[in-house]
Amino acid sequence: MSHKILVVDDEEAISLALEFLLKRAGYEVAVARDGVEALERIAAWRPDLVLLDIMMPGKDGFEVCQSVREMNDLTPQPKIVMLTAKGRDVERTKGLAVGADDYVVKPFSTDELLQRIARHLGQEAA
Amino acid sequence: MAEATRGLGLVAPGVAAAAAFGYLLLLFAVAFWADRRAAQHRSVIDRSWVYSLSIGVYCTAWTFFGSVGVAAERGLWFLPIYFGPTLVMLAAPLVLVPMLRVAKSLRLTSLSDLLSTRFGHRALLGRWVALALVVVSIPYVALQLKAIALAFEIVSGGAGGEAARTFWLVVVLALFAALFGTRRLDVTERHEGLVAAVAFESAVKLGAFLLLGVVIGAVLLGDAEGALRAAWWEAWQAVPKIDAVAAMGYGDWLALTVLAGVAFVLLPRQFQVLVVENVRAEHLTRASWQFPLYLWALNLFVVPVALLGKVLLPDGVTSDGFVLTVPLALHEHWLAVVVFLGGISAATSMVIVESVALATMISNDWVAPWWLRRGKTLAAGHLLWVRRAVIVAVIAAGYLFFLLAGESHALIAIGLVSFLGVAQLAPAVVAAFLWPGASAVGVAAGLFVGLVVWGYTALLPLLIRSGWFPEAWLTVGPAGIAWLRPEALFGVEGMAPVTASLVWSVLANGVVLIAVSVLRPPDGATRAIARRFVADQLFRASRKGAATIADASVAPVRSHWRAKTQSSAVLEVLARFVSAERLIEALRAFRAERGLAADAPLVVDEAFVAFAERLLSGAIGGVAARLVLEGVLGERAPAWDEVMALVDEARAVREANERLRELDRMKDEFIASVSHELRTPLAAVRAYAELLAADPDIDRETRRKFYQTMVRESERLTRLVNQVLDLAKLDSGHAEWRHEAVDLRTVVHEVAETMRPVVRERGGELGVVVPQEEAICFGDRDRLVQLLLNLVGNAVQFMKAPHGKVAVTLQPDAQTWRLIVEDNGPGVPPEERQAIFERFHRASKTRAHSTGTGLGLAIAKRIAEHMGGAIAVDESPLGGARFVVTLPRGTVSQENREREDEPQDLGGG
């Protein structure tokens, strides 16, 4: 069974590209457009990994990440890879502090992103 | 003399007065212009030749009128006054440049500042030096005023009213000096206007004298009968040749040359133009040949004019007035007026610069420390007024001296006596740069003894000749003691009085300086500062064993600062005297120099204190700077009420700083936002490009969609970059705004034309309502179009998806036009109605913003506000947002607006 990945980004251009990329790499993909939707999907659909944008209207990526980590009944917990256009170290530290597993800065290399995802999912490089 | 000039052609008193005051007006204009240019960062004085001309303030009325007088009476005796400065300038790269560098690096404001700083921040020494210079200079200022009065008298033949004219001229001069000598508090920031005016005066001096020479040449050549030419030629033959110098005494020549050279550097006005007002050290290097050239050009025609005066004018006409009486005798009235203005320029430039230089010393060495010691706090504004008051006081003192002693012999000879007085500082200055072993006590003692000898050998004879003391003191000595004769001390005769005074006073001064310094050597702190002044080799040579004490005794005093004082306290004090931009720039340089990050916390260590002191010295002088810092650092037993008062006053500054920090934080946020907004479309473009490149089998339709997205994201990037630049332009105030009558209806129609297809493409419709009559508004049409485009573009993004509605309405109001843009989108919740106009603010309830940059509304707000209008958002009857722009109506409001603009312009300039 292929792994499930939830893409959370309010930018349609980005989420479409990610969806296409991940589907082609053989993952099962769903898209959420904001933080609230993301939490619903995570609870219901139970993805293996969440690609989470930080800057979104409403609930931002940090809050989503924190909420996910506080869901005690959610086991196993999904891997969370933060995706952000903010490149500052403060953001990275904060992302890792709220329980993210990795941190990718936009603009990113699609190959590198796939490799990181594969590593977090315990696969060898795709 | 009034009688003697009778029979000459004369200039009407009114004409002379008009010329003089017109000339002063011109001077104001030059100074204003130069200050204006400086504010635009197009400095006028940042040129070596302007610098060289400004040094020409050396040539006062005393030399302008007096050189010809001396030449007429005593031949080449007028020359040493110029030899000295010429030699000093030629050696400037060796002698003056090191001094300039030290003064700049320590931000020294005057000679007294230099000496008190060098010898261990001795306030007392600075005060003594300042006082000595004031005492020596006031009569010199009086001499200039005397020259002005005399010039008035000569050109108009003593027609009366000279006193009144001189008085008013002095008033205008004081106004000028107070205005342009105190534009800023930081005296190490240059007085551009003042220097430009002084340089201009030097050019006028030179021009006037050269013109005189040329006309005289023409008269002599055109002399038909040849009688005048022959007489002049005969006089020329009789001029003592160079070998006659020996007869005048090489010793006296040498003494006079040395004296002039020393005075050239140490006179307050000279230090001011040479060091304080210097823009860059290279100028001094170039001035080292430019200025001697100026000097000699100015003296080119001294002898010819003197000779013609002797030939042309009857005996009894004062030779000091030849430059004026010769053109009068030739009936060249215009030339007399020009030369008269040259003399006025020589006198006024000296008075202006001297008063400013003295005022800096008095306010920094006397007033500011006294004020601080009394426990008062000091603000930049106070000091500026103190300085202005002192400038006026110095000029007033000069004027009083002129009134009291104007007719006495004393005044005429005061030039040389002033030179001799200033020369008393020479041993101290030489020691400052050459001998690390000199101590403050030694310097003060030397100065004291030197001044006493000067008073006895130079000043006293002057007073005796003016009849204030018995004549017998000169001939047989006080109480009949021959070896006490002021001009033949210890029975030594054969030297000119000037030479004797110079030798005795400087000798006594130097010997005492050395002897006392050896007995009472400098302390560690003084030796530590000496290192900044004295060349390394000399320093090491004289260090020997004593130097280790220096380092040991400085360090412990300073180490406890660290524990006690926050850098913010020091910064607050700095911010009171130094402009915010300057402080920020200085801090940046300080951190860079020490390899610290731009936001690294500042630790109050020795280097930081030195930095703060240097910065503060530039504003309020070394002594006051030290006092203020000691107060903050708690080095001195702190007077608590004093410190509390400092803190109290600093509160306003702290608030200003907080605003600055807030602005800084906003700028950081803005940059982070811009970076974020750029990265998002870039990420999309890159992702699609990589997808397309990695997989050649993507179907046509998907491929087309990807390419479209890439194009759209690139367009978004372009728009973003354009808007960021546009916003920066608007915020910086560099945007150019046209001011024209605009019919707002045409703006609405143009925008509607442009946007209608876009609205239709998205399945919406655009409605437009405009009034029948012309809707005139004054402003920039392109900006108004941009404003409306942004609002309509915003509405299009947010309107309902399938059946969008956007409406643009233009309505007249009582005083304004209301330009309304509505949509039927989700609207803006009340709590966001302010924030929505901030840069990169995003409506939280919607995600339909993928094409927006987040800057359109911010730009719209700036445009509306710049045109005197406003922008607000509320609810639309259509269900969505309603943006209302109010713009002032034309005709009535045009005048109002322009009236409002005026005070802003003044405030900015």
Domain at B686, CATH number: 1.10.287.130
Burial class (CB in 10 A: 0-12, 13-18, 19+), B570: buried
What's the confidence (pLDDT) of residue B494?
Answer: 64
Classify each residue of B462-496 as buried b or exposed e, where b means 16 or more C-beta atoms within 10 Å of its C-beta. bbbeeeebeeebbeebbeeeeebbbbbbeeeeebb
Number of domains in chain B: 5
Helix (H) or strand (E) holding B885: strand B881-888
Angle at B740 between CA B736 and CA B744, to 5 degrees: 110
Task: Indicate if the pLDDT at residue B380 is higher than 80.
Answer: no
State the best of B680, B705, B707, B708 to mutate against chain A, taking most chain A CBs within 10 Å: B680
CA distance B587 to B599: 10
pLDDT tens per residue across span B748-803: 999 998 888 888 888 888 999 888 888 888 888 888 998 999 899 888 888 887 88
- Say if residue B506 is in the same domain as residue B569: no
The closest alpha carbon to B287, from B52, B574, B586, belongs to: B52
pLDDT tens per residue across span B190-231: 788 888 989 999 999 999 989 988 888 888 887 767 777 777
Side chain identity, residue B757:
P
pLDDT interval class at A87 (50, 70, 90)? low
Number of H helices, E strands in chain B: 38, 7
pLDDT tens per residue across span B815-827: 888 999 999 888 8
Burial class (CB in 10 A: 0-12, 13-18, 19+), B425: buried
- At B313 the three-state DSSP class reads coil
pLDDT interval class at B158 (50, 70, 90)? low
How far from B825 is each of A23, B434, B875, B878, CA to CA, in Å?
34, 82, 10, 8
Is residue B247 in some structural domain?
Answer: yes
Record: contact B690-A110, CB cut-off 8 A: yes
What residue segments make up the domains of chain A, in order of their start?
A: 4-120
Facing residue for A17 by CB, picked from B672, B678, B688: B688
What are residue B427's phi and psi, to 5 degrees? -55, -40
Facing residue for A57 by CB, picked from B675, B679, B847: B847
CA distance B206 to B474: 39
CA distance B712 to B162: 82
How many Cα atoms are found within 13 Å in the side-chain-facing hemisphere of B149?
21
| Mean pLDDT, residues B631-636 taken together | 60
From chain A, pick out residues whose CB is under 8 angstroms from the CB of B680. 11, 14, 85, 106
Task: Indicate if the pLDDT at residue B293 is higher than 70.
Answer: yes
- Say if residue B515 is in the same domain as residue B559: no
State the best of A15, A20, A115 to mutate against chain B, taking most chain B CBs within 10 Å: A20
Is residue B650 in some structural domain?
Answer: no
Task: Indicate if the pLDDT at residue B682 is higher than 70.
Answer: yes
Helix (H) or strand (E) holding B765: strand B764-769
What's the confidence (pLDDT) of residue B851?
Answer: 56
ipTM of the predicted structure? Answer: 0.90
CA distance B373 to B435: 32
Out of B638, B653, B687, pick the residue that ends a domain. B638
What's the confidence (pLDDT) of residue B545?
Answer: 35
What's the confidence (pLDDT) of residue B377?
Answer: 62
- Say if residue B614 is in the same domain as residue B704: no
Burial class (CB in 10 A: 0-12, 13-18, 19+), B699: exposed
Record: contact A108-B687, CB cut-off 8 A: yes
| Residue owning tokens 């007088």 | B69
Please give, rounded to a whole number of angstroms, the shortest distance from the CA of A75 to a CA of chain B: 31
Task: Indicate if the pLDDT at residue B896 is higher than 70.
Answer: no
User: Which residues of chain B are at the A interface, by a Cβ-Cβ cutoff of 8 Å?
Assistant: 672, 675-688, 690-691, 694-695, 702, 706, 709, 712-713, 842-847, 850
Record: contact A24-B695, CB cut-off 8 A: yes
Q: Which residue does chain B place closest to A108, by CA atoms?
A: B683
What does the H/E/C string look like for B810-863?
EEECCCEEEEEEEECCCCCCHHHCCHHHCCCCCCCCCCCCCCCCCCHHHHHHHH
- Say if residue B311 is in the same domain as residue B403: yes
Facing residue for B691 by CB, picked from A10, A17, A105: A17
Task: Indicate if the pLDDT at residue B174 is higher than 60.
Answer: yes
From chain B, pick out residues whose CB is under 8 angstroms from the CB of A12. 850
CATH number, position B281? 1.20.1730.10
- Say if residue B597 is in the same domain as residue B536: no
Side chain identity, residue B475:
T
Task: Indicate if the pLDDT at residue B160 is higher than 80.
Answer: no
Task: Indicate if the pLDDT at residue B391 is higher than 60.
Answer: yes
| Mean pLDDT, residues B634-656 taken together | 51
CA distance B47 to B282: 10
Contacts 24+ apart (CB under 8 A), B637-641: B639/B375, B641/B375
Task: Indicate if the pLDDT at residue B544 is higher than 70.
Answer: no
Record: contact A10-B847, CB cut-off 8 A: yes
Out of B510, B543, B576, pick the residue that ends a domain. B543
What's the confidence (pLDDT) of residue A88?
Answer: 64
Record: contact A106-B691, CB cut-off 8 A: no
- At A25 the three-state DSSP class reads coil
From chain A, pick out residues whose CB is under 8 angstroms from the CB of B846. 57
Question: Is the alpha carbon torsion for B535, B536, B541, B545 positive or negative?
Answer: positive
pLDDT tens per residue across span B831-862: 888 778 877 765 544 444 445 677 888 888 88
pLDDT interval class at B381 (50, 70, 90)? low
| Percent of chain B with pLDDT strictly greater than 70 | 82
Q: What is the DSSP letter of B886?
A: E
| Mean pLDDT, residues B13-42 taken together | 84
The closest alpha carbon to B604, from B560, B648, B551, B642, belongs to: B560
pLDDT tens per residue across span B322-365: 888 888 888 788 888 888 889 889 888 898 889 888 988 888 88
From chain A, pick out residues whose CB is under 8 angstroms from the CB of B665. none
How far from B833 is each of B170, B846, B878, CA to CA, in Å?
62, 15, 17
What's the confidence (pLDDT) of residue A71?
Answer: 85
Facing residue for A21 by CB, picked from B679, B681, B691: B691
The answer to whether the CB of B520 falls within 8 A of the CB of B441 is yes
- Say if residue B286 is in the same domain as residue B428: no
From chain A, pick out residues whose CB is under 8 angstroms from the CB of B840. none
Strands of A79-84's sheet in order across: A28-32, A4-8, A49-53, A79-84, A102-105
- Say if residue B531 is in the same domain as residue B605: no
Strands of B816-823's sheet in order across: B764-769, B804-812, B816-823, B881-888, B870-875
State the best of B669, B675, B682, B690 to mutate against chain A, taking most chain A CBs within 10 Å: B690
- Say if residue B141 is in the same domain as residue B191: yes
Question: What is the DSSP secondary-structure string of A48-64?
Answer: SEEEEES--SSS-HHHH
Record: contact B683-A107, CB cut-off 8 A: yes
Record: contact A86-B845, CB cut-off 8 A: no
- Say if residue B166 is in the same domain as residue B211: yes
Is residue B581 in some structural domain?
Answer: yes
- Say if residue B632 is in the same domain as residue B686: no
Task: Indicate if the pLDDT at residue B436 is higher than 70.
Answer: yes
| Mean pLDDT, residues B688-693 taken together | 92
- Say if residue B167 is in the same domain as residue B299: yes
Record: contact A13-B694, CB cut-off 8 A: no
Q: Give the architecture-level CATH label for domain A4-120.
A: 3-Layer(aba) Sandwich (3.40)
* Position with higher pLDDT, A88 vs B166: B166
Task: Indicate if the pLDDT at residue B437 is higher than 60.
Answer: yes
From chain A, pick out residues whose CB is under 8 angstroms from the CB of B709. 13, 16-17
Please give, rounded to a whole number of angstroms, the shortest distance from the CA of A121 to a CA of chain B: 22
As a whole number, the mean pLDDT across chain B is: 78
Is residue B660 in some structural domain?
Answer: no
Is residue B418 in some structural domain?
Answer: no
Give the largest CA-CA distance in chain B. Answer: 124
CA distance B372 to B367: 9
Facing residue for B847 by CB, picked from A34, A85, A110: A34
Q: Which residue does chain A place closest to B684, by CA atoms?
A: A14
CA distance B40 to B603: 36
Structural domain range at position B571: 552-638
Q: Taking a contact as any Cβ pair under 8 Å apart, which residues of chain A between 50 and 109 contact chain B? A: 55, 57-58, 85-88, 105-109
From chain B, pick out residues whose CB is under 8 angstroms from the CB of A108. 683, 686-687
CATH number, position B839? 3.30.565.10
CA distance B113 to B670: 45
From chain A, pick out residues whose CB is under 8 angstroms from the CB of B843. 57
pLDDT tens per residue across span B54-89: 998 888 887 888 888 878 777 777 788 888 899 998
Is residue B561 in some structural domain?
Answer: yes
Question: What is the DSSP secondary-structure string of B601-626?
Answer: PPP--HHHHHHHHHHHHHHH-HHHHH
Q: What is the four-CA torsion angle of B167, B173, B179, B181, rounded to 10 degrees?
A: -130
| Residue owning tokens 């800023």 | B184
What's the confidence (pLDDT) of residue B898?
Answer: 47
How many Cα atoms are found within 13 Å in the side-chain-facing hemisphere of B556?
5
Is residue B649 in some structural domain?
Answer: no
Is residue B414 in some structural domain?
Answer: no
Task: Indicate if the pLDDT at residue B550 is higher than 50.
Answer: no
What's the confidence (pLDDT) of residue B558?
Answer: 39
Task: Indicate if the pLDDT at residue B143 is higher than 70.
Answer: yes
pLDDT tens per residue across span B302-313: 888 888 887 777
Give yes or no for a cis peptide into B681 (omega within 30° of 0): no
The answer to whether the CB of B107 falls within 8 A of the CB of B617 is yes
- At B6 the three-state DSSP class reads coil
- Say if residue B147 is in the same domain as residue B233: yes
How far from B820 is each of B188, B605, B756, B817, B871, CA to CA, in Å?
55, 60, 16, 10, 10
CA distance B113 to B129: 9
Record: contact B687-A58, CB cut-off 8 A: no
Tokens of B846: 């919607």
Side chain identity, residue B873:
V
